[in-house]
Amino acid sequence: MMIGENLMATAKSRTIHKHFRLDPIRLKRAQQVLDAKTETEAVERALDLAISEHERRRLTAEASQRFLKSGIVIRDVFGSIGQ
């Protein structure tokens, strides 16, 4: 079971009805790209992707800050960083 499947199973137990005006071509393309059986599944998967991308960026930023604060010194032994 993938992470997204677990999230979707949880989300289905607390679904709400919303009405959106969406571009039907974009929706069908997202459905195909995300390999979703229904339009609703495509929207749910797209939302899951947006949330996971946000989390991935947040964790990357935190790791970068820890790396910079560690005081490590990087030497350009090949002379390619400044180019």
Contact 60, 16 (CB under 8 A): no
In this structure, of 5-9, 59-63, 67-71, 77-81, the range with the lowest mean pLDDT score is 5-9
Cα distance between residue 60 and residue 44, in whole Å: 24
Q: Which tens digits make up the pLDDT trace of 41-52?
A: 999 999 999 999
Residue 40 lies in a domain: yes
Q: Supply the range of the domain harboring residue 27.
A: 3-14+23-66
Domain-embedded: residue 79? no
Q: What is the DSSP track for 26-69?
A: HHHHHHHHTT-SSHHHHHHHHHHHHHHHHHHHHHHHHHHHHHHH
Q: Name the least confident of 6-10, 22-26, 63-67.
A: 6-10
Answer yes or no: is 52 within a domain.
Answer: yes
Q: State residue 9's pLDDT score.
A: 56
36 in a structural domain: yes
Count how many domains the chain has: 1
77 located within any domain: no
pTM to 2 decimals? Answer: 0.66
